[in-house]
Amino acid sequence: MIGISVRQLEVFVTIAATGTVGAAAERLFVTQPAVSMALGELERQLNTQLFDRERGRLRLSPRGKELLPMAQEVIERIHEIMRQTGDHPLVLTGELRVGTSNTVGNYLVGALLGPFIARHPQVALQVSVENTDRIAAALLEHRIDVACVEGPVNHPQLDIIPWRDDALVVCAAPSHPLAQRDDLKARHFKDALWILREHGSAMRVLAEQALTHLPPGRILLELGQVEAIKQAVIAGLGIACLPSAATVDAVAVGRLKILDTPFLNLHRRLALVLHKSRYRGALIDAFVECVIPDR
């Protein structure tokens, strides 16, 4: 006889998402002892430890990582059964955890989320914004359900679905010597001072690829946010490769100038990323359909 309950699986999935018993109890509207008891009983029935304690947080054990996608699938299938047999079978509810890299989260979030919100207003979206490496790690650890990134992601457990084309542009303050030239060539970038994103960022990867086609310069600053880089460039500290969408306002008011660099390939592809072992229930399917309707 199967003794595992839906509540126990729900507790397991929620602790995996929140990292603590207290946060899981708050999200599930039950007491902490009730959560601890449900987790303990589930581990007893499975005869395995699902979490390891690390600095006050609960991290999935190797066995927990294996079981989490299956537990998520059970919970989501039950939700789908309830939707199909309820009074409003077509109304999607629940929570979807979306991870985005910085450019998408800061400048294209409307294009990414707008169609889904308009079509499914009763779904709660939890959005986290990090660099591409961290978002990929969160997806692999099942801390988010779906991701949208601008950088190359190569992992055998992840599915990549192209979304849209994008590009970086090389920018400088209008007073910068490179911004004064009408006949800009690659050789003019010799000894240029560059401001780059941190390692692990897709912008950093593409910028470094571009720099290999230019004479040697020097990396003056490494900053973790696009806006910080933009402000440093506006202040005349150096030049940078920035997302085109991030420059529109500053270029319009004359605080930033885009340099003409046809000799550099700064194009890139934005993509949705999904975990291959993650059950793609109604919420994930609906999100993918709204973002990429012609897929």
Q: Are residues 174 and 261 in the same domain?
A: yes
Same-domain pairing of 22 and 72: yes
How does pLDDT run across 61-91, given as a tens digit for each residue? 989 988 888 888 888 888 777 766 655 556 7
pTM confidence score: 0.76
178 neighbors 256 (Cβ within 8 angstroms) = no
Any domain includes 1: no
Beta bridge partners of 146: 98
Q: 160 and 276: one domain?
A: yes
Q: What is the pLDDT of residue 104?
A: 92
Instruction: Say yes or no: 157 and 275 in one domain.
Output: yes
Report the 10 Å Cβ neighbour count for 185. 9
Question: How many domains, the chain?
Answer: 3
Residues 137 and 277 both lie in one domain: yes
Helix axes of 32-46 and 21-28: crossing angle, nearest 10 degrees: 110
Cα–Cα distance between 93 and 270 in angstroms, integer? 27
Query: Do 283 and 258 fall into the same domain?
Result: no
Instruction: Provide the residue-wise pLDDT of the chain in tens; the chain has 295 residues.
Output: 467 888 999 899 899 888 899 999 998 999 999 999 999 999 999 999 999 988 778 988 989 988 888 888 888 888 777 766 655 556 788 889 999 998 899 899 999 999 999 999 999 999 999 989 999 999 988 889 999 998 778 899 999 999 999 889 999 999 999 999 989 999 999 999 999 999 888 889 889 998 999 999 999 999 989 999 999 999 999 999 999 999 999 999 999 999 999 999 999 889 999 999 888 888 899 999 999 987 6
Report pLDDT digits (tens) over 160-199.
Answer: 999 999 889 999 999 999 999 989 999 999 999 999 999 8
Using the 3D structure, point to which of 22, 45, 80 is the last residue of a domain: 80
- Domain range for 214 is 167-267
Residues 204, 257, single domain; the answer is yes
pLDDT tens track for 215-225: 999 999 999 89
Pairing of strands 267-275, 146-149: antiparallel
How many percent of the chain have pLDDT more than 90? 63
Tokens 């998402």, located at residue:
17
Q: Do 216 and 190 contact (CB within 8 A), yes or no? A: yes
Helix ranges (H only) for 173-270 are 202-211, 226-234, 244-252
284 shares a domain with 253:
no
The CATH number of the domain where 227 resides is what? 3.40.190.10
